Amino acid sequence: MELEKNIKLRKTLGFDINRNHVLSILNDENKEERFSYGFTKEEAKEFDRCKR
């Protein structure tokens, strides 16, 4: 469920939606989180820019 939720948001944002990529982020204890979604550090920066 969490995987599908993250993939859906990432698709909307134009981020990588490869299942293995998303799973690796979700399993990474150093991931960046925004509203309970997991991102790489670079993706989190882009997400923050998009919010403005």
User: Which pTM value belongs to this model?
Assistant: 0.86
* 40-46 CB contacts, 8 Å cutoff, 24+ apart: 43/15, 46/13, 46/15
Better-scored residue on pLDDT, 1 or 36: 36
Q: What is the dihedral of CA 40, 43, 49, 52, to 10 degrees?
A: -80
- Rg of the chain over Cα atoms, rounded to whole angstroms, equals 10
pLDDT tens digits along 16-26: 999 999 999 99
Is the pLDDT score of 52 beyond 70? no
Angstrom distance (rounded) from CA 40 to CA 24: 10
